[in-house]
Amino acid sequence: MSKTDLSVEESLVEIKTLSKLESLLEEAASILPLANRAKDIVHGEGKQDADIMLIGEAPGYHEALERRPFVGRSGQLLRKTLLEINCPAEMVFISNIIKVRPPNNRDPLPKEILAFKPFLDKEIEIIKPKLIITLGRFSMAKFLEGVKISQIHGRLHKLRWQDQDLFVLPMYHPAAALRSSRVKKSFIDDFKKINKIMNWIDSQQETLELKKQLREELF
């Protein structure tokens, strides 16, 4: 459906959702441990009602400069791989665990992850993706604890998170794929599973709706 096919009511919902996301910027500025100016924040970007949300770690040099997630070398690999499975970046929502570049690209600190948690949670709440793809160990740890990415990458997990059912697919970080040809192969192979996984998630949803309908008709 194109934007012009939206009814007035639907357009209004879109605009409201958009402004909710925009307002996160101001909220974030007041609690940042790394930066105190809204201009340092790299927000998530993409389709507001995307079926798929990808969550990385933190902006790097190029992301901080352009104030867009995944636009550097690892971002180029990510966007190219998405295109190759017919799922261009404009169709998904791309975000990060923390939204300011850590000094010298160091790992995010637990207190920084905690400080940004409400904003990432709000993005998930607004977008309501059917599938969350975690990129790397920091975003995987948001949903799955005590596991190794090398053991569970590319395997779909259904879990209960903040009172909602979520499908989470842990993947290697594209930066790790750039460092090792073995990881790069796994990264690409895992991405090739996404369309099948989305079809399966949709069929699960349809079965649930059918069951609900049947229950309403019978009882």
Residues found near ligand URA in the complex (CB under 6 A): 56-60, 63, 69-70, 72, 74-75, 96, 175
Least separation in angstroms between residue 140's CB and ligand URA is 12
Q: Of 129 and 201, which CB lies nearer to ligand URA in the complex structure?
A: 129
Q: Of 57 and 190, which CB lies nearer to ligand URA in the complex structure?
A: 57
Count CA atoms closer than 13 A to 74's CA, side-chain side. 24
Count CA atoms closer than 13 A to 187's CA, side-chain side. 24
Q: Of 62 and 130, which CB lies nearer to ligand URA in the complex structure?
A: 62
- CA 156 – CA 184 distance, rounded (Å): 19
Least separation in angstroms between residue 126's CB and ligand URA is 19
Position with the least CB separation from ligand URA = 56
Least separation in angstroms between residue 136's CB and ligand URA is 6
Q: Of 87 and 100, which CB lies nearer to ligand URA in the complex structure?
A: 100
**Dihedral of CA 78/79/82/83: which sign?**
negative
Which burial class, exposed, middle or buried, applies to 218 when counting CB atoms under 10 A from its CB (0-12, 13-18, 19+)? exposed
Least separation in angstroms between residue 75's CB and ligand URA is 5
- CA 212 – CA 120 distance, rounded (Å): 31
